[in-house]
């Protein structure tokens, strides 16, 4: 008997017992769909995080002041930042970073705000999507001009429109806000949560020159954080080390380990490693259901052998060999597993995109994942189908013919 005839007989048997066959496949379907969904979302999450890191500069270094070791004279001045950019050839952009909580008001509506201060290089480093207007420039930073860039969510919530360039906004402490002119609007990171969260839980986001932030909030022109961007990924570590040395020389604190340089690429590698381990663990847990599905396949195939004992006896009596009987039943178990695997693949991909839309993640379904899913389901069919197939093949034809 050739392979095509075996497949036809297997499909006929499956079709004759549709409900039983579907319930047998269900374990395979659940297992494959779970693994596909988890792996696809895990890879998609890694791609999303990698994209976010690349947006703020994969070749960036964050330099922080260790508050446990630092004295007031150790904090980084705005002039220090200028020197980093001028003196170190590997550094293309450098910005102080000030983050402070405040309030933003239009006169009719007031919201809690996250206020970020930086130099004109902040836009180059963060690489935000500019929707309207422009970013503040170097002159406005040096002169402390009253200008600001807000995100699209803030624009819609405070002004009920996105393009608010040229309008004014009051920013600062609750009791001492200053009026600033909005020169640009960037894409908001909170847009995906706009319909799910209350207006009170999404803060206004305002970017201003660090000099302006210092004036409005009555701060000294110093910072505990600086972000520098190297001219290439190869020079990231050198840029961070040279920046630390320059700062230590300017502040005379060498040997006290006041400044910590964090390579963004190293952080990304650590995050990807953790995500990879977590995704593998969850996928392994989901794959347990494949074993349950395989046991179901074996159970049903044993039932099928019992039901078709007399048929097996007749076939052996007219010349069917032991290998023919074994291959027939093994083919049926593999087909059941493969159909379950294909359906699981379809449901898994659909589930991954459905959950990804809710979570704001774009799933990544790789061809390798698809191939592994199909091969694994086939392997389950072969492994759990061998015992029933051997049992059918080893039946004594005389006893099988007597079976009722």
The last residue of a domain, from among 257, 279, 314: 257
Residues 166 and 105 in one domain: yes
CA distances from 248 to 40, 60, 183, 224, 281 (A): 46, 20, 36, 14, 44
Residues 109 and 241 in one domain: yes
The last residue of a domain, from among 229, 257, 285: 257
Per-residue buried b or exposed e for 215-244, using 16+ beta carbons within 10 Å of the residue's own CB: bbbeeebbbbbbbbbbeeeebbbbbbebbb
How close are the terminal C-alpha atoms of the chain, in Å?
26
The contacts of residue 87 (CB under 8 Å, 6+ apart) are 246
Q: How far apart are CA 85 and CA 91, in angstroms?
A: 6
| Secondary structure class of 166 (helix, strand, coil) | coil
Are 16 and 252 in contact by the 8 Å Cβ rule? The answer is: no
| Secondary structure class of 187 (helix, strand, coil) | coil
Look up the domain containing 117 and give its range.
67-257
Instruction: Give domain status of residue 144, yes or no.
Output: yes
Tens digit of pLDDT at every position of the chain (404 positions): 566 776 777 677 777 777 877 777 787 788 788 878 877 887 777 777 666 665 555 688 899 998 888 888 999 999 999 999 999 999 999 999 999 999 999 978 889 999 999 999 988 887 778 999 999 999 999 999 999 999 998 999 899 899 999 999 999 998 889 999 999 999 887 654 444 445 566 889 999 999 999 999 999 989 999 999 888 878 888 888 999 999 999 999 888 889 988 876 666 666 777 777 777 776 676 667 667 777 777 777 777 776 666 666 777 677 667 777 777 777 777 888 788 888 888 888 888 888 888 777 778 777 777 777 777 777 777 777 777 777 766 766 666 555 55
The last residue of a domain, from among 228, 257, 286: 257
| Secondary structure class of 228 (helix, strand, coil) | strand
Q: What is the pLDDT of residues 120-150, one digit of tens each?
A: 998 888 777 899 999 999 999 999 999 999 9
Confidence at residue 196, expressed as pLDDT on a 0 to 100 scale: 46
Residues 92 and 218 in one domain: yes
In degrees rounded to 5, what are phi and psi of residue 283?
-65, -40
In degrees rounded to 5, what are phi and psi of residue 9?
-65, -40
Instruction: Give domain status of residue 346, yes or no.
Output: yes
Residues 79 and 108 in one domain: yes
| Secondary structure class of 175 (helix, strand, coil) | coil
Residues 350 and 324 in one domain: yes
Are 175 and 216 in contact by the 8 Å Cβ rule? The answer is: no
Total domain count for the chain?
2
Residues 356 and 292 in one domain: yes
Instruction: Give domain status of residue 262, yes or no.
Output: no
Confidence at residue 193, expressed as pLDDT on a 0 to 100 scale: 47
| Secondary structure class of 372 (helix, strand, coil) | helix
Q: Output the pTM of the full model.
A: 0.60
CB atoms within 10 A of CB 279: 18
No. of helices (H) and no. of strands (E), the chain? 13, 13
Q: How far apart are CA 369 and CA 377, in angstroms?
A: 12
Instruction: Give domain status of residue 57, yes or no.
Output: no
Instruction: Give domain status of residue 212, yes or no.
Output: yes
Residues 284 and 325 in one domain: yes
The candidate with the shortest Cα–Cα distance to 135, out of 154, 117, 148, 126, is 148
DSSP E strands, 119-224:
130-133, 147-151, 168-172, 178-186, 204-209, 222-223
Instruction: Give domain status of residue 60, yes or no.
Output: no
Which helix (H) or strand (E) segment is 125 a member of? helix 121-126
Task: Output the CA torsion 180→186→190→193 (10° steps).
Answer: 120
Residues 229 and 107 in one domain: yes
Instruction: Give domain status of residue 264, yes or no.
Output: no
Residues 241 and 280 in one domain: no
Confidence at residue 325, expressed as pLDDT on a 0 to 100 scale: 73
Residues 98 and 241 in one domain: yes
Residues 224 and 341 in one domain: no
Q: How far apart are CA 381 and CA 241, in angstroms?
A: 57
Residues 391 and 282 in one domain: yes
Instruction: Give domain status of residue 305, yes or no.
Output: yes
């Amino acid at each position: 008997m050739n392979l095509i005839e075996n497949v036809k007989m297997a499909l006929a048997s499956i079709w004759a017992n549709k409900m039983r066959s579907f319930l047998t496949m269900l374990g395979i379907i659940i297992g494959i769909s779970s693994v596909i969904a988890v792996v696809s979302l895990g890879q998609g999450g890694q791609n999303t995080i990698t994209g976010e890191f690349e947006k703020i500069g994969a070749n960036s270094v964050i330099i922080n002041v260790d508050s446990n070791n630092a004295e007031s004279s150790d904090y980084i001045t705005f002039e220090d930042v200028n020197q980093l950019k001028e003196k170190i050839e590997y550094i293309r952009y450098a910005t102080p970073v000030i983050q402070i909580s405040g309030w933003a008001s239009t006169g009719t509506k007031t919201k809690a705000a996250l206020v970020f201060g930086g130099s004109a290089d902040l836009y180059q480093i963060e690489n935000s999507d500019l929707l309207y207007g422009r970013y503040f420039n170097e002159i406005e930073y040096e002169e402390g001009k009253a200008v600001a860039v807000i995100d699209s969510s803030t624009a819609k919530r405070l002004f009920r429109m996105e393009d608010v360039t040229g309008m004014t906004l009051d920013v600062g402490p609750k009791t001492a806000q200053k009026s600033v002119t909005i020169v640009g609007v960037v894409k908001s990171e909170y847009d995906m949560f706009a319909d799910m969260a209350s207006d009170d839980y999404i803060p206004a986001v305002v970017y201003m020159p660090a000099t302006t932030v210092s004036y409005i909030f009555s701060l000294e022109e110093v910072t505990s954080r600086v972000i520098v961007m190297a001219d290439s990924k190869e020079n990231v570590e050198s840029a961070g080390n040279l920046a630390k040395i320059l700062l230590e020389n300017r502040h005379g604190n060498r040997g006290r380990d006041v400044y910590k340089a964090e390579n963004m690429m190293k952080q990304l590698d650590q995050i990807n490693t953790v995500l990879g381990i977590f995704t593998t663990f969850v996928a392994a847990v989901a794959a347990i259901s494949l074993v349950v599905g395989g046991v179901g396949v074996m159970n049903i195939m044993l039932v099928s052998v019992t039901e078709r004992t007399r048929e097996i006896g007749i076939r052996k009596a007219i010349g069917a060999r032991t290998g023919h009987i074994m291959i027939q039943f093994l083919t049926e178990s593999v087909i059941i597993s493969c159909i379950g695997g294909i359906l699981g693949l379809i449901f898994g991909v659909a589930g991954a995109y459905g959950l990804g839309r809710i979570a704001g993640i774009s799933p990544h379904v790789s061809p390798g994942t698809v191939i592994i899913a199909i091969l694994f389901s086939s392997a389950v069919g072969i492994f759990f189908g061998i015992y029933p197939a051997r049992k059918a093949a080893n039946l004594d034809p005389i006893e099988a013919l007597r079976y009722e």
